Amino acid sequence: MRNSTKIWTTMALSLVAGALGLALPVLAQEAGGDAKPAEPQADVPAEAPPAEEPKPEPKPQPKPEPKAKKTKEAMPDLGGASGGEVDVYGIGDDLVPPGSRMDWAKRRDIRVVQKREVVKEGRHGLSVLAGVVPNDDFWTYISGGLGYNYYFSEDLALNVHAVYTYDKATSLRTKLESNRPEGYELQVRLPQTLVGYTSAGIDWNLLHGKIGFFGTKLGEFDMALCFGVGAVSTKVTTQQFPAGIMRIDAAGNVGGYLQFYLSERFALRLDYHHLFYPAFDDAKNDSSGGLARPLAVTAALTWFTAPPQ
């Protein structure tokens, strides 16, 4: 009887222990959710350094594309300089930021020109002259003639010209010789009247320059001093020859000219000459009347021969 009780007691304890073994995992899962039991870790020495993380490999960089060259249309206009070139101010297209205003450069555009566009050395020039002698009280002389130039160099030339003068009475002489209330006229007798003159001399060019016309054309000009000697023809009147006789005397002249070049072959020349020759003394009938100093102003159209090869 006592053994049977032990057997049943042992069996009951075994059943209770088995039931508890099955119930414990279910209770642990309900209490911790989906938590998994920690896995056993391997023993790690305390002095071991932490493991280094692997470095990422550098990604290959794409090659830069070549920059497109700036065209002339994409850059401001520099007043004549093409793309990449440098103008007279030392400013190139590539140096100007896009969108910059260059109106001032267009307004101040200057083109480089040669020192002399028209070469004179070794050339001949033929001129047609017309002018006046304005500094006589009783006569106004209208003059016309021909001229010739040969240019030894750009600054030195031979000048030969011959001029004939036509005399016309001034208003002063006309008033003196007009009818008067007394019924008689005054007779004005001039002892010496200019008829014409010739001269051969040297033109010494002092200045060569350029001048702009209305901002559209650039012309050249020369300025020179003139020295010459020659002869002068005059008409003199005396008591014996009231109608006048011709006289020729030696003469000299100094002056200058201003010559504008119209083209390679033509030029407009303005001359100023002061003539010096002996004045006639009708009382002594000789050239002891002092020094006559008429002023001659002429304008000439000059034609040049072809430049030497």
Strand locations in the chain (E): 124-133, 139-151, 156-169, 192-213, 217-236, 245-261, 266-278, 291-292, 295-304
**The token pair that represents 211 in the structure block:** 């001048």
**The token pair that represents 296 in the structure block:** 């001659």
How far apart CA 269 and CA 128 sit, in angstroms, is 10
Amino acid at 309: Q
Name residue 272's beta-bridge partners: 256, 297
Q: Where are the domains of the chain?
A: 124-304
User: 162, 157, 165, 166: which is closest to 267 by C-alpha?
Assistant: 157
Amino acid at 6: K
**The token pair that represents 68 in the structure block:** 């497109």
How far apart CA 128 and CA 148 sit, in angstroms, is 9
CATH of the structural domain 124-304, one choice from 3.90.870.10, 2.40.160.20, 3.40.1160.10, 3.20.20.140: 2.40.160.20
Amino acid at 89: Y
Apex 85 CA angle, 64 and 212, nearest 5: 155
**pTM for this entry:** 0.57
Backbone angles phi, psi at 21, to 5 degrees: -65, -35
Name residue 71's beta-bridge partners: none
Query: What is the gyration radius of the CA atoms in the chain, in angstroms?
Result: 58
SS3 112: coil
- Please count the CA atoms within 13 angstroms of the CA of 60 that sit on its side-chain side: 2
CA 73, 75, 76, 78 torsion: positive or negative?
Answer: negative
pLDDT in tens, the chain (309 residues): 555 666 767 777 777 666 666 655 555 555 555 545 555 555 555 555 566 666 667 777 777 766 655 554 544 444 444 444 545 455 555 665 555 555 555 555 555 545 677 889 999 999 999 999 887 777 778 899 999 999 999 999 999 999 999 877 666 666 666 665 555 555 666 778 889 999 999 999 988 888 877 767 778 899 999 999 999 999 887 777 777 788 899 999 999 999 999 988 999 999 999 999 998 887 777 777 788 888 899 999 999 999 887
